[in-house]
Structure 1
Amino acid sequence: MKRFLYKPILNAIDAREKRVADELANADTKKAEAEKEKEEFKHKNEEFDQQRSALLNKAKEDAKAERQRFFEEVRKEASDLRAKQQEALKNEEENLSQEIGRRTQQEIFSIARKVLEDLAGTSLEERAVDVFSQRMRTLNDEEKKQLASALGASLGQVLVRTAFDLPQEQRDSIKKTIKETLGIETQPKFETVPDLISGIELTTDGQKVAWSIADYLTSLQKSIDELLKEQPRSKARIEPQTENNKPRSENEPETEQEPEAEANKPESKTESEGETRPETDYNKPKSRKEPEAEANKPESKTESEGETRPETDYNKPKSRKEPEAKQEPDAKQESEVK
């Protein structure tokens, strides 16, 4: 029995238990592997989240830096453009100023020559030499002494520069003026320098006596420059005024007139009692009598239905105003007596 029955059954049971144990062991192993894979997956997900967050933060920082760089570039370009515009405006202003000065000089010379020729029959050059000679003669003693000392130190060397070519007659006149003023015989050297602008300049050993139209033109140029500089300022001042005046012209007059009218009412009352009565009757009772007249309309109809023409508002206020009209002369007489 044992050999043929129990032993095969026990062997089968043992084999089954072993198989079950092996399956359970395999299941535990697979479970452990699954847990391990789960942990690895979880860890990988965490690393992925961290990497994603890091990438997003980096992308935000890069975008912010790029935005800041772009703004800086735009700001720099705007600043450079503004500087170029200002430089261009400045150059244009300088060119305009120079052109105005040049044309002004031309017009002044043309007018001066024409006026001198028409009035005195002399040229501009002749008159300039006369004015220079007069200035030489009007030097004070100290200036004459210094000029004579410089002339002696230079051994009579004198340089006369003019803006125009002088004829021999004008040169002799200048030489004569130097001799009469300083008492020294000289042989001046004449040079033509257009930059003097219709002027004459005498120099010797560091001393100088000069006269030219450049002084007058410099003063005129300064005035023109100041006018050109003040012109954009005046525009900037006018613009806010015109903008501020627009709303005032539309809205403010009504609000401003109301307090004036209210302020004038008590003044008219305090002037004299005789004068206030006609003013108040003229201003206020009109608005008050209208509802009275409207209220009296049905009364006039109920009093006499047979009358075809009831009493009008025009007749009633007259009868009510008569005592007031009678009182007005009394008020005027009281004011006259006062």
Structure 2
Amino acid sequence: MLIDWTTVIFQLINFLILIVLLKRFLYGPIIRAMDERERTIAARLAEASRAEQEAQEHARVLAAEQKEFADRRAVLHDEAQQELDRWKDQSLDRLKEEVAAKQQSWQQTLDEEQETFRKKLKVVIGQQVFSVSRKVLADLADNRLERRLLEVFLEKISREAEGFSGDQGSVTIRSGFPLVDEEKKRLDEGLDKIFPGHGALDFQEDPALGFGLRLLTGDRQWEWNLSRYLDDMEEDIIQTLRRSP
């Protein structure tokens, strides 16, 4: 505890004065001193009360500020939580949309790949069918097929030779297989109907034609062979398969 030397000295002086005054005036000075003391104490009490009120007011203001800060913090927390929830919802929605878009793109790509594979498979199957067909027809080729080939060949020339006189010298007939006399005679008779008065027939064998015939006269040429026929048919069917769903 600190000693207030001023107060101590003041009390000592008062005490000495009191002794002197008591000696001289006795009660009068005592009463005046007591009144003065009461006024001093009252002033100090008033000052203390005022300080207490100020402290209470300051405490009230501080409490109000603390409450306002707490309320504001709660509001900010709620706003932040709401913003976070909105962000989570929006992010989740975007993620769902991205996943759905990727899934749709993947499905579309898969469908396209499956469709491409299906078309390629159809083409391959078609090619294999025609490859087998060629082999089977080549293996089964006999006189009946050869006679039918002659008829088809003559029909083709008859359809396409309109306006052509056929009197332009010799006629060359090339075949991919040996022609017997009966077949040569059939061709000669058939061409007489198409090109009356045509020149002599020159029969030649050309294995490159396969199961087919070629006629050359002047600057014209007619040809029919199984390989080309199947090629054309194969191309038509493959194009149809490629366009089909």
**Offset from partner CA, 1:130-174 (integer Å, 9 cap, x none):** 51322332x3xxx76xx53xx79xxx9xxxxxxxx966999xx99
2:38 is paired with a residue whose SS is helix
| Partner Cα separation in structure 2 for residue 178 and residue 16 of structure 1 | 156
1:134 maps to amino acid: E
Which residue pairs with 1:134 in the alignment?
155
TM-score under structure 1 length normalisation: 0.45
Please give the alpha-carbon distance, in whole angstroms, between the structure 2 residues aligned to 1:179 and 1:69. Answer: 83
Q: 1:121 to 1:94 in 2, by over 3 A?
A: closer
Shift of 1:220: 7.0
> Aligned-pair distance for 1:88?
2.0
| Match in the other structure for 1:198 | 227
Q: Aligned to 1:93, which of 114, 118, 122? A: 118
Q: Which residue of 2 aligns with 1:187?
A: 219
2:95 alignment partner AA: F
Cα drift, residue 50 of structure 1: 1.2
Q: CA offsets, 1:40-82, max 9 Å, x none?
A: 1111112111111110110000000111111112112211221
Q: Give 1:33's match in structure 2, choosing from 58, 72, 75.
A: 58
Q: Does 2:99 match 1:74?
A: yes
Shift of 1:31: 1.0
Q: 1:46 aligns with which of 61, 71, 79?
A: 71
Answer yes or no: is the 8 Å Cα contact 2:130–2:234 preserved in 1.
yes
Instruction: Tell me the CA shift for residue 91 of structure 1.
Output: 1.8
TM-score of the pair, normalised by structure 2: 0.60
Amino acid at match of 1:21: A
TM-superposed CA distance for 1:116, in Å, is: 1.7
Q: CA RMSD in A?
A: 4.4
Displacement of 1:92:
1.6
For residues 60 and 166 of structure 1, do their structure 2 counterparts lie closer, same or farther at Cα, with a shift above 3 Å needed? farther
Amino acid aligned to 1:19 = R
- Could you list the runs of 5+ residues in structure 2 that have no partner in the other structure? 1-24, 169-173, 180-185, 199-216
What's the CA shift for 1:215? 6.7
| Structure with the bigger percentage of helix | 1
Q: In the alignment, does 2:133 pair up with 1:108?
A: yes
**Aligned residue for 2:38?**
13
CA contact (8 A) 1:197 1:213 kept: yes
CA positional deviation for 1:94: 1.2
Contact kept in structure 2, 1:136 and 1:177, CA below 8 Å: no
Q: Larger radius of gyration, structure 1 or 2?
A: 2
3-state SS of 2:98 partner: helix
Deviations 1:98-136 (A, max 9, x none): 11111110111111122223x5484xxx96565132233
1:1-338 equivalences under 5 Å are 1=25, 4-117=29-142, 119-120=143-144, 122=146, 128=149, 130-137=151-158, 139=159, 148=163, 181=194, 186-188=218-220, 198-199=227-228, 212-213=229-230
Distance 1:133 1:215 in 2: 19
Report the Cα offset of residue 84 of structure 1: 2.1
State how many pairs are aligned.
187
Give the distance between the partners of 1:197 and 1:20, measured in 2 at CA.
133
Match of 2:182 in 1: none
Gaps of 5+ in 1: 157-164, 200-211, 230-338
Q: Deviations over 1:203-246 (max 9, x none)?
A: xxxxxxxxx34576578779989xx97xxxxxxxxxxxxxxxxx
Change (3 A) 1:18 1:129: farther
Give the letter for the 1:188 counterpart: R
* Residues 179, 186 of structure 1: 8 Å contact kept: no
Take 1:110 and 1:168, find their aligned partners in 2: how far apart are those partners? 16
